[in-house]
Amino acid sequence: MQRYIARRFLQSLLAIWVMSLIVFSLARVTGNPLDVMLPLEAGPEEYERVSKHWGLDQPLYVQYAIFLSKAVRGDFGNSWKWHGYSAMGLVGQRLPATLQLAGFALFISIVIALPIGVMAAVMKGTAWDSVAKVIALLGQSLPGFWLGIVLMWIFAVHLGWFPTSGRGGLQYMILPAITLGWFQVAVLMRLVRSSMLEVLDSEFVKLTRIKGVPEWKVIWKHCLRNASIAPLTFFAIIAGVLMTGSVVTESVFSWPGTGLLVVDAVRARDFQVVQAVVIVFSGIFIFTNLMVDILYAYIDPRIRFQ
């Protein structure tokens, strides 16, 4: 187990390193790095400052050493668009909003997916099962950003139940969270359904039924507990997907999180901020993947020996 964890950990570090290499080289191989790092409107003193910060007059390997040592300390330079902020400071400031939205979306997708998945398994082959199938299919085929706009159009513009965009109380969070969680609902529901089917078929369920346990208790207590192992390990993957999915959702609903920050930064060609967000997000993404793999290996020992 330790060897497996150590190997996966090194692999994750390698992945982050590759990502930082991509960020570093993209700015430098495509001609003058200052043209990439700064927008056209930037003045000469801005050029001077950025050039000095990253040591751009030095040879490439020195530049890489400077980049790496600053990156490790979380220094990605100062933002060009948002004056007086460091790139990393901006990310730190916006990250809570993203985490809040992602957490709520995760909550909503569980609340929707769990009962539907369980019912679909219990009533396999009925109309209810078909409804679940249609939801799963739609979940994989609907573009998330479009779903967001449709929800906004129906529930915010026409019905006026929710505000169209921005961040505030709970009512601001519902539409973006549904948009963000939609795809996960489909995935999670299918997982719950298939693992419930497996459990419903097992011997101990027959035994509890023979013992005279009421049917609702058999399903919601005995079966669901055993069926939730597989979906549980999936949650961390979902968390990773939610992080990156927030880029799209936040820009639909103008939710002031990290996702919106990076899209705005790309539009303003604020490369310092872009690289900070990308490295931080990649780190979160890669390490949630690592956590999932470790969790899997813990639950299913066969994986460790592959």
Partner 1 sequence: MATVTARTLPWYAPPRVAGAMRQVGRYPVVPLSLLMFLLVIPAVLAPLVAPYDPLKGSLAKRLKPPVWQQGGAIEHPLGTDKLGRDILSRMIYGARVSLMVSLVAIFVGGSVGTGLGLMSGYFGGKTDALIMRLVDISLSLPTILLALVLVAAVGPSFGTVIIVLVVLLWARYARLVRGETLSIKERDFIARARVAGASHSRIMAKYIFPNVVNSLIVLATLQVGYVILLESALSFLGAGLPRPTPAWGLMIADGRELIVTAWWVSMFPGLAIMLTVLSLNLLGDWLRDHLDPKLRHV
Measured from the CB atom, is 164 or 208 closer to partner 1? 164
Closest CB 207 distance from partner 1, rounded Å: 27
Measured from the CB atom, is 200 or 265 closer to partner 1? 265
Number of Cβ atoms within 10 Å of the Cβ of 124: 14
HEC string for 113-175? HHHHHHHHHHCCCCHHHHHHHHHHHHHHHCCHHHHHHHHHHHHHHHCCCCCCCCCCCHHHHHH
Measured from the CB atom, is 213 or 241 closer to partner 1? 241
Closest CB 138 distance from partner 1, rounded Å: 7
Closest CB 104 distance from partner 1, rounded Å: 20
Closest CB 175 distance from partner 1, rounded Å: 12
Torsion of CA 96, 102, 106, 108, to 10 degrees: 100
The DSSP element (H or E) to which 67 belongs, if any, is helix 60-72
Closest CB 280 distance from partner 1, rounded Å: 10
d(CA 45, CA 300): 58
Which residues here bind partner 1, judged by CB under 8 A? 11-12, 14-15, 18-19, 22-23, 26-27, 30, 36, 137-138, 140-146, 149-150, 152-153, 157, 164, 240, 243-244, 247-248, 251-252, 262-263, 265-267, 269, 271, 274-275, 277-278, 281-282, 285-286, 289
